[in-house]
């Protein structure tokens, strides 16, 4: 399948999905969300792919959502629908997903990294939720499950950016790498995971997903869908005034 905003390749049981909008710092737009969902769906039942790696082209993992689309009110319904589906497709994906964070992961890029099972980051990576400043409530869940309630709330309320070293210290990142080695280290981790039988990996993934504290669906609906409808899209309609 031909994609315009991502590339997809697979080798030795690992599927590598690369966000391919480097000129926009891999900002996630409607088309990219749809293509990520389509790629994951294609690999869902593919025996040749047991682990997925998500990374970015160029020097950024992802700068977050492409805010230019929020300037067109005619896109609001599609923005909500595509975002709702894409986040759920990543969270509920039945196979392990590794985020190979090759640079800044901000806003929606931060959320994408958090929704993955494991995060490897290069030392130049940064994380933050700057969208709080223009009126978009960040996702707290499942960030709170990774770094704890207090740290998650502080990061969401302040929108402050943290570097890779601090991200590793608070448990957001599992492993630090050099800037040019993050994808290779993610591949090696994927190969280690693939030593387990495929059915074991999928059973474990389903079990871990379903047992994660407060149900993801309940939390996501409140933090994402309702926030879109009641806060973000009305602000976008007013030009974020």
- Those residues with Cβ within 8 angstroms of residue 161's Cβ, 6 or more apart along the chain or in another chain: 106, 126, 127, 128, 130
pLDDT at position 212? 63
Q: In what order do the strands lie in the sheet with 97-101?
A: 6-11, 14-19, 51-56, 97-101, 118-122, 175-177
**pTM (whole model) above 0.85:** yes
**Buried/exposed 59-89: b ≥16 CB within 10 Å, e otherwise:** ebbbbbbbbebbeeeebbeebbebbbebbbb
Q: For the chain (length 241 residues), average pLDDT per consecutive 10?
A: 94 98 98 98 97 98 96 96 96 97 98 98 97 92 94 98 98 96 98 94 85 72 85 86 74
Domain spans of the chain? 6-182+195-237
SS3 of 96-116: the string is: CEEEEECCCEECHHHHHHHHC
pLDDT at position 111? 98
- Provide the token pair at 99: 């985020």
pLDDT at position 227? 84
CATH topology of domain 6-182+195-237: 2-enoyl-CoA Hydratase; Chain A, domain 1 (3.90.226)
In 3D space, the residue among 64, 67, 85, 87 whose CA is nearest the CA of residue 75 turns out to be 67
């Amino acid at each position: 399948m031909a994609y315009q905003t991502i590339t997809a390749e697979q080798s030795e049981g690992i599927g590598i999905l690369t966000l391919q909008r480097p000129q926009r710092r891999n900002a996630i737009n409607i088309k990219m969300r749809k293509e990520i969902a389509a790629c994951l769906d294609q690999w869902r039942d593919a025996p040749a792919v047991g682990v997925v790696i998500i990374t970015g082209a160029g020097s950024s993992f992802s700068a977050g959502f492409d805010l230019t689309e929020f300037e067109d009110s005619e896109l609001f319904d599609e923005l909500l629908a595509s975002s709702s589906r894409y986040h759920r497709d990543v969270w509920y994906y039945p196979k392990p997903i590794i985020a190979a964070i090759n640079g800044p992961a901000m806003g929606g890029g931060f959320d994408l990294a958090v929704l993955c099972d494991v995060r490897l980051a290069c030392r130049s990576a940064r994380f933050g939720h700057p969208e709080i400043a223009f009126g978009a409530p960040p996702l707290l869940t499942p960030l709170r499950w990774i770094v704890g309630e207090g740290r998650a709330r502080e990061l969401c309320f302040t929108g402050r950016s943290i570097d890779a070293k601090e991200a590793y210290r608070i448990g957001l990142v599992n492993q630090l790498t050099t800037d040019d080695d993050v994808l290779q280290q993610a591949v090696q981790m994927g190969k280690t995971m693939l030593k387990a039988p495929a059915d074991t990996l999928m059973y474990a993934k389903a079990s871990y997903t379903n047992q994660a504290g407060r149900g993801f669906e309940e939390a996501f609906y409140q933090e994402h869908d309702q926030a879109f409808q009641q806060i973000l899209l009305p602000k976008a309609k007013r030009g974020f005034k």
